[in-house]
Amino acid sequence: MSSFDYDLFVIGAGSGGVRAARMAAGFGAKVAVAEDRYMGGTCVNVGCVPKKLYVYAAEFGKAFGDARGFGWETGEPAFDWETLRDNKRMEIARLNAVYRNLLRGTEIFDARATIVDAHTVAVDGRRVTADKILVSVGGWPHVPPLPGSEYAITSNEVFDLEAFPQRLLIVGGGYIAVEFAGIFNGLGADVTQLYRGPLFLRGFDTDVRAHAAMEIAKSGVDLRFERDVEAIEATLSGLRVTLNDGSSLETDAVLYATGRRPHLAGLGLENVGVRLTEDGYIEVDDHFRSAEPSIFAVGDVIGGPELTPMALAEGMAFARRQFGGMDATPEYEFVPTAVFSQPNIGTVGYTEEEARARFGEIVVYKTSFKPMKHTLSGRDERSLMKMLVDKASDRVVGVHMVGPDAGEIMQGIAVALKAGATKAVFDNTIGIHPTAAEEFVTLREPWTEG
């Protein structure tokens, strides 16, 4: 019999925490979970889910125009922000209940938890003990200090704005900034996106970044690279933003999407031996154990690919190993990901730069074309597809796409890459005609040979 109140106390009911808690309970552990904001965490409440719903909404913006080329007369479309926002709220409330239900069999504290010592947590005015503590507190948007930063909003607020911002300034060049630019542009706002570097989407393949920048600019977003904000001030008609090139612009809202930091404030880590990495993430070993042996961590709080499926895989591996007696370790190679911009970006494996560094000689296949749909829609948009092959083994080590449904297409390609598919396997696969995806099995001529 354990002398602790619980076998496992999970702090944070987001993607990683819920998965770990419910699997551990499934293995027979006595589990408690603390969540101080919303069941399901970032992804469900202010991340992937509302974001994708708003992306669908944004896609209608251009689709009404596209439909005319196919013979549809749609009249002048009108968009109502309150309807979208309130329907989204209803769906999220439904999902909150689903997540609460998933945690049946655990004890839920709707409260903030603080670590008191290696086996004790303060929660809801009580102190409870646990054999193991899992920190799955996720991340929090970071707004750099600058004059007027109090006027800035983040992804935490943007989904629930009272009024639709007709003019929106987005600061940041990561995938979240790019996605919000596409969302608000599609919904009809005048969107300006600033990024302080020469080209956004750092970490993605350079061709993908350049192609996405070209298409996103064509779609109507005012993209400004090598620019940053110096100050924000309120005016009678909105906000005036001064940029570092001396210019200024008027806007209704300034959305900062300049990165997320681990959500560790007030967690009580100073009371235990947990160590942080240089970047401020919780340092863990391959089995998610921190420097304090009874404390574990998964998800965004440990860094790595900050994606829901990764947090789920880590939560699952943690529960399997600690409570299911299984040898489980997630794999971090060939993690596919998408940017739900307009057009979408889908990617799996190495960028060209990384592949050259890792494999030496690689063969690059690349094609750019107008999607069939836009031959009649009249929309001026081009897709890009790129494949990287390790010359020595013929193994496909990177696949990248900018174009409609790239996120959907990339999931299947990721399975092939995980299975170690060679270029010959792709070549021997029959295409599905007519699709854009079939291009991936008909790429014959190398672009350049490295």
Q: What is the residue whose two structure tokens read 């890009």?
A: 384
Name which position in 25, 41, 169, 258 contacts ligand FAD (CB under 6 A): 41
Q: Which of 307, 389, 399, 421 binds ligand FAD (CB under 6 A)?
A: 307
Q: Which residues contact 418 (CB under 8 A, 6 or more apart)?
A: 334
Going by the DSSP 8-state scheme, the letter that residue 373 receives in this structure is H
Q: Which residue is nearest to ligand FAD (CB)?
A: 14
CB closer to ligand FAD, 179 vs 207: 179
Task: For strands 126-135 and 295-297, give the pairing.
Answer: parallel
State the minimum distance, in angstroms, from the CB of residue 357 to ligand FAD: 26
Member of 22, 51, 85, 423 binding ligand FAD (CB under 6 A): 51
Smallest distance from the beta carbon of 129 to ligand FAD, in angstroms? 17
Query: Considering the rule CB under 6 A, would residue 306 count as an interface residue with ligand FAD?
Result: yes
- Given a contact cutoff of 8 angstroms between Cβ atoms, the answer to whether 201 and 339 are in contact is yes
- 258 touches ligand FAD by CB under 6 A: no
State which residue, 186 or 395, has the beta carbon closest to ligand FAD: 186
The token duo for 80 is 């109502």
| CB closer to ligand FAD out of 313 and 362 | 313
Pick between residue 5 and residue 306 the one whose CB is nearest to ligand FAD. 306
Which residue among 62, 88, 100, 112 contacts ligand FAD (CB under 6 A)?
112
Please state, in angstroms and as integers, the Cα–Cα distance from residue 253 to each residue in 53, 96, 149, 189, following that order: 21, 28, 12, 11
For the annotated catalytic residues, the residue numbers are 433
Nearest distance, CB of residue 97 and ligand FAD, angstroms: 15
Q: Does 383 contact ligand FAD by CB under 6 A?
A: no
Q: What is the DSSP string of 321-372?
A: HHHS--------TT--EEE-SSS-EEEEE--HHHHHHHHSSEEEEEEEE--T
Residue 218 CB, nearest approach to ligand FAD (Å): 23
Q: Does 263 bind ligand FAD (CB under 6 A)?
A: yes
- The per-residue b/e assignment along 81-109, b for 16 or more CB within 10 angstroms, e otherwise, is beebbeebeeebeebbeebbebbeebbbb
A 10 A CB-CB count for 447 gives: 16
Q: Is 398 in a helix, a strand, or coil? A: strand
CB of 390 to ligand FAD, least distance (A): 27
Q: How far apart are CA 8 and CA 20, in angstroms?
A: 10
Distance CA 296, CA 108 (A): 19
Shortest separation between residue 275's beta carbon and ligand FAD, angstroms: 19
Nearer to ligand FAD by C-beta: 204 or 359?
204
The answer to whether residue 14 forms part of the interface with ligand FAD (CB under 6 A) is: yes
Q: Indicate which single residue of 38, 281, 350, 426 sits in contact with ligand FAD (rule: CB under 6 A).
A: 38
From the list 6, 21, 42, 201, which residue makes contact with ligand FAD (rule: CB under 6 A)? 42
Q: Which of 27, 37, 129, 371 binds ligand FAD (CB under 6 A)?
A: 37
Q: How far is the CB of 297 from ligand FAD (least distance, A)?
A: 9
The single residue among 4, 48, 122, 382 that binds ligand FAD, judged by CB under 6 A, is 48
Using the CB atoms, write b or e for 3-14: b if 16+ within 10 Å.
ebbbbbbbbbbb
Supply the DSSP symbol for 444.
-
Choice between 187 and 249, CB closer to ligand FAD:
187
b or e along 38-53 (b: 16 or more beta carbons within 10 Å of the residue's beta carbon)?
bbbbbbbbbbbbbbeb
Total chain residues near ligand FAD (CB under 6 A): 35
Smallest distance, ligand FAD to C-beta of residue 317, A: 13
Q: Specify the residue, 113 or 364, whose C-beta has the smaller distance to ligand FAD.
A: 113
Whole-angstrom Cα distance, residue 117 to residue 128? 11
**449: which residues sit within 8 A by CB, 6+ positions away?**
361, 363, 364, 391
The footprint of ligand FAD (CB under 6 A) covers 11-17, 34-38, 41-43, 47-48, 51, 112-113, 136-138, 155, 176, 263, 267, 299-301, 306-309, 311
